[in-house]
Amino acid sequence: MNMVKCIDIKKHFPIRRGYLKGAAGFLKALDGVSIEIEKGKTLGLVGESGCGKTTLGKIILGIIKPDSGRVELETNKLQVIFQDPHNSLDPKMRVKDILSEGLILNKESKERIGGKIKDALDLVRLPQNALARYPHQFSGGERQRIAIARAVLTEPELVVCDEPVSSLDITIQLQILELLKDIQKRFSMTYLFISHDLRVVRHMAEDIAVMQHGRIVEKGPTRKVYSEPSHPYTKILLSSVLGIIK
């Protein structure tokens, strides 16, 4: 069963030039993209910066609308984990307030909010005394754990992970990836995992879609695509990653 199905998604942005900022052309951020994500699985969406990965994630989340095509979702319980936890967490809010925000909007009781926050901190392996502190008092990896806790508190069924470890060093990356995998397994979540890092995608995703210039140029089971890439662009990407293709 598919949690997500994107059918022929197109999104073009005007290129503004000159004093009056008239449209001098259009950037084809997405040019007929179709993908499917199976329930409880992870699709790795990989490609170089500017290829349209984040735009597709925003369309799936409903943040922006496509020019044409459609998105079919089997859930309305969506969340996102951003690339940079330093910018995605309000520096003026204590962790307790950051984590409470979504639950308050959902009109949860104070008692239930307190219990859920405690469980969420335990889930991401942070101490309870973190609640009284501010984001700047944590390391980058700890801030990302806070962002993950915030995302899972509303019990999402689909999470868009947009470069969630790219700002972290390699050792911390692995810890966060393992945490995400543990959470997915425990709660049967579905992930769209956006990344430019093929090593990270190989670690996380059962399936992969390779994007170039707003188009999906190759997709399939991760193991097969990595061992037998068919598209020249995929081969170039893989050849740049030491140890995947000589």
**pLDDT single digits (tens) 208-234:** 999 999 999 999 999 999 999 999 999
Dmax (CA) for the chain in angstroms is 57
Average pLDDT over residues 99-103: 91
Q: Is the pLDDT of residue 167 over 90?
A: no
Q: In the prediction, which pLDDT does 246 show?
A: 38
- Residue 164 dihedral angles phi and psi, to the nearest 5°: -70, -10
Average pLDDT, the chain: 91
Q: What is residue 222's predicted lDDT score, i.e. its pLDDT?
A: 96
Flag whether pLDDT at 47 surpasses 60.
yes
Full domain range(s) for residue 150: 86-155
Domain count for the chain: 1
pLDDT at residue number 50: 86
> Is 174 domain-assigned?
no
Helix (H, G, I), strand (E, B) or coil at 181: helix
Instruction: Give domain status of residue 119, yes or no.
Output: yes
Quote the pLDDT of residue 173: 93
Residue 245 has pLDDT above 60, yes or no: no
Is residue 117, in this structure, part of any structural domain at all?
yes
Instruction: Please state the rounded mean pLDDT for residues 121-143.
Output: 95
Produce one character per residue of 88-105: b if its CB has 16 or more CB atoms within 10 Å, e if not. bbeeeebbbebbbebbee
Count other Cβ atoms within 10 Å, centred on residue 180: 26
Tell me the residue type at 66. Answer: P
What are the tokens at 193?
């995992």
The neighbouring-strand residues paired with 38 are 2
Question: CA nearest 204: which of 52, 81, 43?
Answer: 43
Least confident stretch, 40-44, 75-79, 163-167: 163-167
Q: Which of 12-16, 37-41, 123-127, 210-214 has the lowest mean pLDDT?
A: 12-16
- Is 116 domain-assigned? yes
Task: Identify whether 166 is part of a domain.
Answer: no
Residue 24 has what pLDDT?
63
Asked if residue 236 belongs to a domain, the reply is: no
Whole-prediction pTM: 0.91
Residue 103 in domain:
yes
* 243 pLDDT higher than 90: no
Residue 213 lies in a domain: no
Using an 8 Å Cβ cutoff, are 80 and 160 in contact?
A: yes
